Structure 1
Amino acid sequence: MANSLTSPVRPTVDPRSPSPGPGRSTRPRLDGGAASGGRWAHRAFVTPGVLALIVLGVYPLVFIALAAFSESSLGKPFQDWVGTANFSEALTNADVTASLVRNVLYALAVGVASVVLGVAVAVALFRTVRAGSLVRTLLLLPLITPPVVVGILWKLIFNPSGGLLNTVIGLFGYSGEPVSILASPVFALGGVAVADVWEWTPLITLLVFAALLGQSPEVTEAAKLDGAHGWRLFRHITLPAIAGTVAAAFLIRVVLAFKVFDLIYIMTSGGPGTSTTTPSYLIYQAALQQFDLGRAATITLLLAVVVTVVTLPIVAVTRRLHND
């Protein structure tokens, strides 16, 4: 009797109940309030991003697609559904097709020139001015200058009446007719390209310079000990190390070149004739001068298709270089 009164009462365990496995707690679970609160907090943080994507991405894309298949003006969109008539008219229009081809050639040429100059300047800075914060800041000046100011600046440089270009070539003995780059159907687009390269090459320089800073110095020193100097060092050691960054910079530069509008608007207004007219400028003319929203939307979608076709191989090469 004494033993039964003094022995502790042990809880009865149902043998049929599953036993907790190793590492599992036998304490009762908390209610789902905390988990539910976490889900609502996650939704609260994600919602602004989703709304921004819908407002800034999905809605404009749907609106442009609907306008391209309809007769739409700037004040009265979606007046009548016309199917593919807008696309047929655009693809048979010589100005539209010529502007698309011109934009592809322009973007590739400007992209190559910017990358070549940007890599050369970045390598020179890395080898001579490793702590050149002042030089890197000066390189940012064209990049942070508003495109409108860049266009005006280079328009003044190419001005045949007292511009910097004619002044410089006059110092070397030239006494012929003033050189008018922007008035020439052959050289006008090249003049715009020069301004474009001047404005965006610093971006390529900074990207490549950052990649050079991340390069392993031990590999470079070992290559120098093995006799690699100058071009051989750059070709076999430096360039493979930064190839992924260079390809990504080229992709960015090509996309930016496809979007060129401000420089053309300020420097040439699409002329002389249509020699500097790009799809972006045609979209501006169709939407804001002719108020033909359907034509503007059609050219926009055609430009998007062209940009996709051109950039897909560059994206593939960039991914391959980064994976290697």
Structure 2
Amino acid sequence: MSVSNITATHPAAFLLVGIPGLEHLHIWISIPFCFAYTLALLGDCTLLFIICSDAALHEPMYLFLAMLAAIDLVLSSTKLPKMLAIFWFRDRKINFYACLVQMFCLHSFSIMESAVLLAMAFDCYVAICKPLHYTMVLTRDLITRIGMAAVARAVTLMTPLPFLLRHFHYCRGPVIAHCYCEHMAVVRLACGDTRFNNIYGIAVAMFIVVLDLLFVILSYIFILQAVLQLASKEARYKAFGTCVSHIGAILSTYTPVVISLIMHRVARTAVPHVHILLAIFYLLFPRMVNPIIYGVKTKQIRDQLLSLFQRKDV
């Protein structure tokens, strides 16, 4: 076998199409996405500012919420600026290594977000089922270790992908039929044996979603059992109230994932651009909604937000 046949070559840059078949509507499509991105930025930055500036909010629940807001900021800012550049200025070119970095950030921070949502479910479980041991269980040291474990898991699972993609020969051209660098969209351009990438990508996605959701569901089964044993309706209502924001975040994160997976299978052949629109929606919708959910349903954050605006009025 000659050296030229085994030497991996890749283009200096990829070209991102945007949303195939809807290029003439890019300007109009960009309006709701730009609005959602602006809301996500304002919401997440406001949450981080309130939690960091108020020492009374340096408790486990709010520290996990700060982690979630920071992750959401990275996820939305990794994707949306380049996407809007495609929609507004037709700036489709992205450097090969910048594409790999974008792909790594999108997938790894999505895994981190899933881990933080699981940690928040654990926080709800301890607060309701083991209230007397709450401060002893959820110490600052444990919260730090949970955060480090979330980062380590994501980085460990996603690090192989950029190195694998770097060694492929991209004989199918540099054009990615997407508006951001997603693992499988890049793999489709590669020649050679890509079975490991296909299997590994699906296995990681299933492992994260199934495992984390399973533990979240188990947490809420124990929470439900504990709440139903409470004597008064007022106590039950208060206990459920502590979990409402987290349930909303779980639904806003995982519901679009399920819808996207279903539509990806059902509508991709008939309407190729549908799965791309849903993928954008899946990555952007939770980032926009989570700050609103926690801002409206969490009294301490709502009070701090109101006092912040009142100080500005004065």
TM-score, structure 2 length as denominator?
0.27
Q: TM-score, normalized by length of structure 1?
A: 0.26
**Structure 1 or 2: more helix by fraction:** 2
